[in-house]
Amino acid sequence: RAFELLSDIPTKLICFSDDMDGFRKVPGNVPMQEELRADLNLPLTKVRDPFGTHAGFAQHNNARLCEFLDSFGFEYEFASATEYYTSGK
């Protein structure tokens, strides 16, 4: 907010998720360790959600990120690399 307060230039906070990045390592704190090993090197949006709450691991983490940011009450625009790429943005 500092830039917004110090200038008259309109600002927009964009939270960009690089969810096309490769799944390089199975985190030690998630279920389905063995199953997730089969997803190594896939784009994060193609990795199964070990918690079973979303279409994939990236979608699960993106939702958690948005919940976290929402808890602060500021405005932001969420952007997904996968959505941008597939839509041609």
Residue-range definition of the domain harbouring residue 81? 2-87
pLDDT at residue 5 in the model: 83
89 residues of the chain, pLDDT tens digit each: 788 788 888 888 999 999 999 999 999 999 999 999 999 999 999 999 999 999 999 999 999 999 999 999 989 999 999 999 999 98
- Provide the H-helix boundaries in the chain: 2-6, 33-37, 57-70, 81-87
> pTM for the whole thing?
0.85
Compute the distance between CA of residue 70 and CA of residue 56 in angstroms, rounded to an integer.
21
- Structurally, the chain folds into a number of domains equal to 1
Domain with 18 in it: what CATH number? 3.40.50.620
